[in-house]
Amino acid sequence: MKLKIAVLAGDGIGPEIMEQGVAVVNAVARKFGHGIEYREAICGADAIDKVGAPFPEETFRTCMESDAVLFAAVGDPKYDNDPTSKVRPEQGLLAMRKKLGLYANIRPIETFDCLVHKSPLKDEIVHGADFICIRELTGGMYFGPKKEGTDEAYDTNIYSRAEVERILRVGYKYALARKRHLTVVDKANVLASSRLWRNVAMEVMKEYPEVTTDFMFVDNASMRMIQEPRFFDVIVTENTFGDILTDEASCITGSMGLLPSASTGEHTPVFEPVHGSWPQGKGLNIANPIAQILSAAMMFEYFGLKEEGTVIRKAVQASLDAKVRTPEIQVEGGAHYGTREVGQWIADYIRSH
C-alpha cells in the first residue's frame, strides 16, 4: 500500500516523540513493503511564531491532500500564561478538528500487566481494564456561541440530532466488534442538551438489539471509572464530558504516555497521543514515545492493515517486558532509556522479528 502521511509535530516534546513514531512507521513499511510519502506541516505555537496562525491554510491543504495525519501535540507556556492572548496554539487543534470534520475521537484504555503497579489505583481494580471512550469532537461548548467579558461570560452547549446520531453509530460499530456493551454518558437530569442525547440514544439503541445499552450520568460515570473500570466496554459521550473522562481514564494505565487516539470523520483521519506538549520536558530526551507509536498502530489498523498494527503492539509490549522504558514508568533501579532509545529499540525489534 502507498500512503501519504501529513506529519504535524507541533510544540514542546512533539518533535521528539514524532521522530520515533515516524521511525516505527518506516520500520513497518520496510517489513511489509509499503510506500510512505511524508509531508511535514506546522501547527500550534510553532505556526503562530512563524506565520501568525495556529493552523495555517497551507497546513490544512496538506492534511486534506494526505491519506492520514500523524499529529503530536500543541501548547506553549507563553500563551498559557497570557489570558489576553487572542491567538492560542489550542485554537489550531480545534480548527483542525472542525475543518477536517473529525467528529469522532476514539481513545482506547488498556492496561499492561507489567505496569498495573504504576497506576494510583489498586492492582486488583485496574488489572484487565480494557475499554474505549468515543468522544463527540466538533460540537458542544467548545464550538458553540461564546461571550467573554470582564463581568460575564458563557459557552453554549449546542447539539443537533444529526450530530448525536452519527457519533452513537460510531459507538455501536465498535461495540459490535467488542463485548457488545455500550454506555451513554450524559447529564440528562440537569442539562437540556443531555436530554436530547438520551432521547436520541433511546431511539438508536433499538436498531442494535444485540448490544446491551445503558445510561449513566457523568458524575456517576467518573466515579464508576475509578471504582470499577472493567465494567465499561464502549463509552459514548459529548465533547466536554469526553475530554474530562478520557484524561481521568489515563490514571488507570499509570501514564498518559501510553495512550494513543484516533480522530475520524468526514475527511483525513488524525492519529495522535492523548497527552499534551509537556514543555517542561522539551529537549530532555525523557518523553515517553509509546503513545505516539501506538497511534501509528491505530493508523495502520484504520486502513485495514491489522497485521502491521499487531507487529507494533507486540514490539511495544516487548520493550516494556524488557524494561526498555522512559523514566516515568521504569522500575526502581532500572537502566535509563530516553525517548530516542525507546523508539530505536522498538523500531529495531520490528525489523528483526
The catalytic residue positions are: 142, 187, 219, 243, 247
CA–CA dist 226, 245 (Å, integer): 10
Query: What residues does 132 pair with on adjacent strands?
Result: 108, 234
Question: In degrees to the nearest 10, what's the CA dihedral of 223, 116, 305, 273?
Answer: 60
| Residue from 210, 272, 229, 238 nearest 132 by CA | 229
Question: What is residue 117's DSSP assignment?
Answer: G
SS3 per residue for 205-233: HHHCCCCEEEEEEHHHHHHHHHHCHHHCC
Local structure of 242: helix, strand or coil: helix
Residue type, 203: E
Nearest to 241 by CA among 262, 213, 222, 214: 222
3-class DSSP assignment, residue 115: helix
Q: What are phi and psi of 188, to 5 degrees?
A: -70, -15
Q: How many CB atoms lie within 10 A of CB 38?
A: 14
